[in-house]
Every structure is written in C-alpha cells, then in structure tokens.
C-alpha cells in the first residue's frame, strides 16, 4: 500500500543499509545489531527483532561509509510495526540528540545518496 497523504518529513530521506548497534538507553550492555532501511538528518528506520513501545529512548551507534568511527546518537521510537510475525519489525526513530559534527556527517551521507539514487 502506498501512502497518498501529504509528506510530513522535514528532512530528505534516503534508502540505505547502514550497520547500526542499538540498545534501550536505560539498559547497559544490551546492544543489538541491525541495519537501517532509510536515513535522514531527523531520524531513521531500522529492522529490529522486537517491537518497541512508542517513546522508548534508544542509544544508537551507526556506521556510515565516509567516516571511520561510529556516530553516537540518541533517538526516540515513534513507530514499531511487525513485518514478519514474532521475528521482524520496522522501527522508526526520531533523533533526539545529535551534535553538529555528527549532523554534518549524516547530512553529507544523505546528500551523497540523494544524488546517486536519482
């Protein structure tokens, strides 16, 4: 089904599979690894192996192709839907904390992929 309503995103979003490790911020040493389905300066969608409650705050480390180190972000779950019963979930995350250096790297990555995906 294709969404026919008005676009609510404030930032351009690109399809891309970038490696991400994430955990519920309040939990220590409970990281899971996944990949993005898409990315923007405002957030991302991940494939996760569990459903998250709306508003769950995650600590996120993402690896992008033009930067050696992982970028550390904090995000809030804004949607989590089951795709394959009890196995795969599409989880949408809005970034809460992103420093200017990380924002620049994400912005440059999104800009590059916007040009190459057209």
Quote the CA–CA distance of 23 and 28 in Å, as a whole number.
8
C-beta neighbour count of 103 within 10 angstroms: 14
- What mean pLDDT is reported for the chain? 88
**Is 1 part of any domain?**
no
Q: What is the pLDDT of residue 3?
A: 34
Give per-residue pLDDT as tens, 52-90: 999 999 999 999 988 899 999 999 999 999 999 989 999
- DSSP letters along 65-88, please? TT-SSPEEEEEEEEEEEEEETTTE
- Residues spanned by the domain of 18: 13-116
Give the pLDDT band of residue 37 (cuts 50, 70, 90): very high
Q: Is residue 73 part of a domain?
A: yes
Report residue 28 CA to chain centroid gap: 20
Total residues found in the chain within this entry: 118
Cross-strand partners of 36: 46
On whether the pTM is more than 0.75, the answer is yes
Report the candidate in 6, 69, 8, 9 with the shortest Cα–Cα distance to residue 39: 9
Domain count, the chain: 1
CATH number at residue 86: 2.40.10.220
């Amino acid at each position: 089904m294709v969404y026919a309503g008005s676009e609510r995103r404030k930032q351009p979003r690109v399809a891309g599979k970038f490696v991400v490790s994430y955990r519920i911020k309040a939990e220590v040493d409970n990281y899971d690894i996944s990949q993005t389905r898409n990315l923007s300066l405002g957030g991302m969608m991940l494939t996760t192996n569990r459903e998250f409650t709306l508003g769950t705050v995650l600590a996120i480390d993402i690896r992008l192709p033009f930067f050696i180190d992982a970028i550390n972000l904090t995000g809030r779950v804004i949607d989590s839907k089951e795709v394959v019963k009890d196995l795969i979930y599409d989880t949408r995350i809005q970034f809460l904390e992103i420093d200017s250096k990380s924002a620049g790297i994400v912005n440059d990555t999104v800009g590059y992929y916007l040009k190459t995906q057209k």
